[in-house]
Amino acid sequence: MKKLGILNSAIATVLAHMGHTDMITIADCGLPIPDTTQRIDLAVKKGLPSFLDVLDAVREDMVVEKITLAEEIKIYNAEMYNKIKNRFPNVVIQFISHEEFKVLTVQSKAVIRTGEASPYANIVLHSGVNF
């Protein structure tokens, strides 16, 4: 058994296969996931697991160069936006419309679906390098 890091085998595999600029999405329970993109469904029930719990686990195991958020999060979920921003103090934040965000998920290596039930609690993590 692994001692540290992500225990979920699907997430661990995706992270191990990621290279520079590859993307992975962490989503609330309502974001549509393209049929062509790997779905890692962690949602158990509304709120479980939370978006932030999953985000924290993934960011501890991944070099993040940039993040992408829907512009709407700043207005409709400012509390979540501030929590995300505080977790990535030295990372570039790109904002796009929610409609553009949904299109971008097609390029993600995977979308991790959480039980989060708050608006626009979705993020694309762009992989950096550790050297």
User: Which of 7, 9, 17, 20 does the annotation list as catalytic?
Assistant: 20
How many CA atoms, within 13 angstroms, populate the side-chain half-sphere of residue 114? 24
Question: Is 20 considered catalytic here?
Answer: yes
- What is the enclosing helix (H) or strand (E) of 93? strand 92-96
> Annotation-wise, does 122 bind a ligand?
yes
- Whose tokens are 């390029």? That residue is 107
What is the torsion angle, in degrees rounded to the nearest 10, for the CA atoms of residue 101, residue 105, residue 111 and residue 115? 20
121 annotated as ligand-binding: yes
Alpha-carbon dihedral 78, 96, 18, 119, rounded to 10 degrees: 40
Q: Is 28 annotated as a binding residue?
A: yes
Is 126 annotated as a binding-site member? no
98 is in an annotated binding site: yes
Sequence ranges of the binding site for substrate:
28, 98, 120-122
Instruction: Just list the catalytic residues.
Output: 20
Sequence ranges of the binding site:
28, 98, 120-122
